[in-house]
Each structure stands twice: as structure tokens, then as C-alpha cells.
Amino acid sequence: MKTVLIIKAAEVRPFAEGKLNNTMVEIAEKTLGNDYKVIKTDVNSGYDVTEEQEKFKSADLVIFQYPMYWFSMPSSLKKYMDDVYAYGVFFEGSENYGFSGLMKGKKYMLSLIRMTLTI
């Protein structure tokens, strides 16, 4: 059975509790649960770097679920990537820039929630 890793990130605030983000993760888990082993990470709940690297290695599909913040990812997801994407695990040196990735054969998906502020 193939494995899907769902990574959820958000900057939870009193006015934005992340209910839609949570619902999107639940829908993905229900939809994919029959065909994939589902493993998840909520970056706001903490994580172990080595464990996260092993999750990536075992995953056939990685889904990043998060709302957009000022046309970018939440800072918690950026920190997660800075922590987890380590030299020798995700990439290595190469004479051909952009061709040193070590997580080959995986599929990735961004599931983004665009927030709109109306004034």
C-alpha cells in the first residue's frame, strides 16, 4: 500500500482558528484512506526532525495543507522546512544546480486556502 504524508500548517489566531484547514485535512484523509496509508504532521503541535525525515522517505505522496499568508506559506511551515530539509537527506551538492534532490519519485501537492480581507 502506498503512503501519503499530509503536512498541516497555519498561524492560528483568535479570529482564524483554522477550522477550514482542519476540514481540508479531514477530507483528504477520508478520501485517500482507502488507497493510502495516511500519516500526518501538524507543524504547530511540534515534531521530531528525524521522525519527519523518515516520514518523507516512506511517503509516495506529500500534501502540504495551509492557508496563504501575504502570498506565502505560514512562518511555522517555513521553519519546519528549514529544520527538516537537511543536506544529505533531501539534497546534496551537484555541479548542475537544481538536480541534487534526493527525494526522487515522489509526488507533491499544495492544497492552499486563500484568505481574502475586505475593507
Write the CATH number for 30: 3.40.50.360
Least confident range from 46-55, 82-91, 106-115: namely: 106-115
For the purposes of burial, counting CB atoms within 10 Å of the CB of 61, is it exposed (0-12), middle (13-18) or buried (19 or more)?
middle
Mean pLDDT of the chain: 88
In-domain check, residue 88: yes
- Name every residue whose Cβ is closer than 8 Å to that of residue 114 and which is 6 or more positions away in sequence: 67, 68
In-domain check, residue 118: no
In-domain check, residue 72: yes
In-domain check, residue 119: no
pTM metric for this prediction: 0.86
- Name every residue whose Cβ is closer than 8 Å to that of residue 62 and which is 6 or more positions away in sequence: 4, 5, 7, 56, 106, 107, 108, 109
In-domain check, residue 55: yes
pLDDT of residue 7: 97
In-domain check, residue 74: yes
pLDDT digits (tens, 9 = 90+) for 13-65: 787 788 888 999 999 999 999 999 999 999 999 999 999 999 999 999 999 99
Q: Count structural domains, the chain.
A: 1
Give me the domain span that covers residue 71.
Answer: 2-113
In-domain check, residue 109: yes
